[in-house]
Structure 1
Amino acid sequence: MAATPASGEQEEEVCLWSWGAGTEGQLATGTLEDQFLPQRITSLPAISHIACGGAHAIALTGDGKVWTWGRGTKGQLGHEEMNNCLKPRVVKLLESFFVSDVAAGWNHSGFVTDTGRLFMCGDGSFGQLGTGNNESHSSPIEISFSDATHVEQVACGMRHSIALVKDASSSGDLVYGFGAGRHGQIGKPATRSSYLPMVVPGLENCSIADVCANGDQSAALTSNGQLYTWGRGFGGSSGSHIPQLLTSPLRFSKVVLGWNHALLIADGDTYILGGDHHGMLASAPKSQQASSPSSDDSSAIPNLRKVPGLDGEKAICIAAGAEHSALVTEHGTVMTWGWGEHGQLGLGNSCDQTCPQALDISYNGPFASSQFRVYCGSGFTFLAKLPS
């Protein structure tokens, strides 16, 4: 819980909104309905981060506590049961730890402690929990690495997981993959599954700042702004189990993945990479687009271009769902586009959008745009005003 304010101080108001698919409780509204407009949520303490999965969400508070809600039928909520949960509940089995990072996949979850320990729960059918078997777990279970390993971060895709670790025996960072590997997303040649964490080749000498996963894709961002991707491949490009460097003069500072697209920030500009299913990619003038690859051209380079329609505003936060996108600009404008069937764009309808659309978020009071963060699940979205 947030600390109790001292006498004479006023506790900072918690501001959280959700919208989109809600039929499994993932919006934390206490109902099982889709919401086409942002709904104010008041059932959580002050949070520092949210991870959104297929139909569940995980909130991390500033004091290292974890809250989960939504679909729990595979045990992904960590509540020692396999039931949905309409309202956020604290994960009691992690209360003795300070959790520093969380991730949500389609039906599984990951938690990293400040001491470098990794816990997983949920669906293990494809080995995505890294336990050595395909069993599912309804409570967090610790994943074994070497004694010299310090886990820094975890990322969860559809049915696979990626872990960033610091290893005292290695000169650089190591990235591990486990779970479904048919498209190369765990860093192994096309294979059905790997039940134990295996080192992703080709990144051993890189300084990794961030890892992410979604769908059948994985990515790593280096500390000098280079992007490596592996897995299914974007926009008609062939997939690869070996991380592929995106050849570009740009130096990226942030990357997020959808199922078939990626959003990136470089020097304050927002770029998009991948296909155009459901209009999830912003349209661009033909002069800015590369020729569309034919269906049998597996060597085509993915199309990377700026996201139009931002009117010169720079993005400070980006998020990607299965097939929709969201961002917050430097002036605090929240914008969404892409697949809208369940209201996940927050525009009051179920229409797809091919260009960013500004949302009307009602909030009374002063704020700094840097306090706002947006998070996307498969077909739902959260917006949070973080403590200053």
Structure 2
Amino acid sequence: MSERDGAVDESRQEIATATATAAAEEEEIWSWGAGTDGQLGTWRLEDEHLPQLLRLPSLTSLGPISMLACGGAHVIALTSGGKVLTWGRGTSGQLGHGDTLNSLSPKPVSFFHDCVITHVAAGWSHSGFVSDTSSLFTCGDGSFGQLGHSDNTSHCYPAKVSYFANKHVKMVACGMRHSLVLSTGFPGNQVHAFGSGKRGQLGVSSDLTKSINLPRVVSGLEGVEIVRISANGDHSAALSANGELFTWGRGFQGCTTDARTPQRLDSAVSFREIALGWNHALQLTGDGEVFMLGKTLNHQPGKPTDSSEAILEKVPDFEGLRVLKIAAGAEHSAAVTENGEVRTWGWGEHGQLGHGSAADRTKPQVVNLGSGYEQIKDIEVYCGSGFTFAVVTRKHLPPPLIT
């Protein structure tokens, strides 16, 4: 063999070795649960009791998914490049496409063609978007003032909320009929609220029972550095920089008293994530432990508890595994564990637990998202009112190069 042939063989071997050791990444999108408004992206108007692997060129062609937001029956996708796509129920204009039509597949929101979006949120029938210029845009149902435009008008296109023109919006959260906004800057981080306040979910006054359509600063958080907000149903919540949890709005399952101003959870546990449902809240600690507020683990949806106050307890059924992420739907919960599993529990009527039936589960159960768990790099899980999405990033080792 000549010196040249030897060099070619060596080069081929180097390429083969590099190809065999370099893992290509592939993003998978799975959905299951309620689908009668097209929110699952399966092109079928029906519930799915098992996870469905979606084939959505219109979504994947715009790059990796940065986050999803799942509402009452619609979904917002934000790509890593700041593009926005929506699908599902659009009867209130919440998809932002300029009409009130449902969409069976992801469709880009053309309004944001020249904008870079950094955060999105989905409520029951409205949507919120934060741009890289710290502006807030909303669309959808505005009948309770939840769009923040100083009126109760609904919008089919995203409209900028002028109240925040001179503020730096960092995050938006959308509940059933209300919205929260976290802004930064002078005089520090502030939480603003607007929309329905009948159950105290706005946190702006001890005796306010009506809706407001212009954002107001939430009372009782002065001097607290809030870093995260959450809203669902008639509940609101905020996390401080040191892991304190504040909640306000309708009392959780077992607690009949509404909180009209933020109440700090009396607990020595420090939290880093919060996810709200309609009757419960999940909290995640820095050590990967999950706590649940508002209903006992053995509580079945629709059945009252005997407790006179909200209950905080640790979810013990993760077999010693650290939990990395949490999500909450109307009455179901989801978590991602350190070994790359998605586990769900709670209400299962529409198949939103992904276990192949409509049965409820009182303990977290593993959801089958296909083979190759050892190749999973990352999983994100998102819950709508009665449906669930998972975005899975896998590393795929290509076959060895044949020489």
Q: Deviations over 1:18-61 (max 9, x none)?
A: 00000000001111010000000121222010100000000110
- Within 5 Å, give how 1:97-108 maps onto structure 2: 97-108=115-126
Q: Distance in 2 between matches of 1:38 and 1:116?
A: 36
Q: Which residue of 1 aligns with 2:307?
A: 293
1:130 aligns with 2:148: yes
Q: Indicate the SS of the match to 1:191.
A: coil
Q: Distance in 2 between matches of 1:269 and 1:58?
A: 28
1:272 aligns with 2:285: no
State which drifts further: 201-210 or 66-75. 201-210
Whether the aligned pair in 1 keeps the contact of 2:254 and 2:311 (CA below 8 Å) is: no
Q: Deviations over 1:277-298 (max 9, x none)?
A: 99469xxxxxxxxx9424xxxx
Whether the aligned pair in 2 keeps the contact of 1:201 and 1:243 (CA below 8 Å) is: yes
Alignment equivalent of 2:43, drawn from 30, 36, 42: 30
Amino acid of the structure 2 residue aligned with 1:154:
V
Structure of larger gyration radius: 2
Q: Deviations over 1:76-133 (max 9, x none)?
A: 0000110000000111101211100000000000000111000000000100000111
- TM-superposed CA distance for 1:276, in Å, is 5.3
Q: Indicate the SS of the match to 1:248.
A: coil
- TM-superposed CA distance for 1:242, in Å, is 0.8
Q: Deviations over 1:218-240 (max 9, x none)?
A: 00001110000000022333211
Q: Indicate the SS of the match to 2:111.
A: helix
Q: Distance in 2 between matches of 1:25 and 1:11?
A: 31
1:212 aligns with 2:230: yes
1:331 aligns with 2:351: no
- TM-superposed CA distance for 1:359, in Å, is 1.3
- Within 5 Å, give how 1:369-384 maps onto structure 2: 371-384=378-391
- Within 5 Å, give how 1:1-388 maps onto structure 2: 12-43=25-56, 44-45=59-60, 46-168=64-186, 170=187, 172-188=188-204, 189-237=207-255, 238-266=257-285, 267-275=287-295, 279=299, 292-294=306-308, 300=309, 302-364=310-372, 367-368=375-376, 371-386=378-393
- TM-superposed CA distance for 1:387, in Å, is 8.1
Amino acid of the structure 1 residue aligned with 2:342:
V
Q: Distance in 2 between matches of 1:264 and 1:365?
A: 26
Whether the aligned pair in 1 keeps the contact of 2:144 and 2:152 (CA below 8 Å) is: yes
362 and 100 in structure 1: CA distance in 2 versus 1, 3 angstrom threshold: same
Q: Whose helix proportion is higher, 1 or 2? A: 2
Q: Distance in 2 between matches of 1:264 and 1:315?
A: 11
- TM-superposed CA distance for 1:215, in Å, is 0.1
Q: Distance in 2 between matches of 1:316 and 1:373?
A: 9
Which structure 2 residue ranges, 5 or more long, are not aligned? 1-18, 396-403
Whether the aligned pair in 2 keeps the contact of 1:110 and 1:118 (CA below 8 Å) is: yes
Whether the aligned pair in 2 keeps the contact of 1:133 and 1:195 (CA below 8 Å) is: yes
Q: Distance in 2 between matches of 1:279 and 1:140?
A: 39
Amino acid of the structure 1 residue aligned with 2:292:
I
Whether the aligned pair in 2 keeps the contact of 1:278 and 1:323 (CA below 8 Å) is: no
Q: Distance in 2 between matches of 1:128 and 1:55?
A: 17
Q: Deviations over 1:257-280 (max 9, x none)?
A: 000100011121110010259946
Q: How many residues align?
A: 363
Q: Distance in 1 between matches of 2:365 and 2:138?
A: 36
Q: Distance in 2 between matches of 1:292 and 1:376?
A: 28
Whether the aligned pair in 1 keeps the contact of 2:297 and 2:315 (CA below 8 Å) is: no
Q: Indicate the SS of the match to 1:141.
A: strand
224 and 122 in structure 1: CA distance in 2 versus 1, 3 angstrom threshold: same
Whether the aligned pair in 1 keeps the contact of 2:135 and 2:164 (CA below 8 Å) is: no
- Given the two structures, how large is their TM-score scaled by the length of structure 2? 0.86
Whether the aligned pair in 1 keeps the contact of 2:297 and 2:363 (CA below 8 Å) is: no
Whether the aligned pair in 1 keeps the contact of 2:340 and 2:373 (CA below 8 Å) is: no
- TM-superposed CA distance for 1:148, in Å, is 3.5
Q: Distance in 2 between matches of 1:324 and 1:142?
A: 33
- TM-superposed CA distance for 1:12, in Å, is 3.5
Q: Distance in 2 between matches of 1:206 and 1:368?
A: 38
Give the superposed CA RMSD. 2.0
386 and 94 in structure 1: CA distance in 2 versus 1, 3 angstrom threshold: farther
Amino acid of the structure 1 residue aligned with 2:227:
A
Q: Indicate the SS of the match to 1:145.
A: helix
Of all paired residues, the percent bearing the same amino acid is 52
- TM-superposed CA distance for 1:11, in Å, is 6.9
271 and 365 in structure 1: CA distance in 2 versus 1, 3 angstrom threshold: closer
- TM-superposed CA distance for 1:368, in Å, is 4.2
Q: Distance in 1 between matches of 2:54 and 2:371?
A: 13
- TM-superposed CA distance for 1:208, in Å, is 1.1
Q: Indicate the SS of the match to 1:192.
A: coil
Q: Indicate the SS of the match to 1:265.
A: strand
Whether the aligned pair in 2 keeps the contact of 1:49 and 1:59 (CA below 8 Å) is: yes
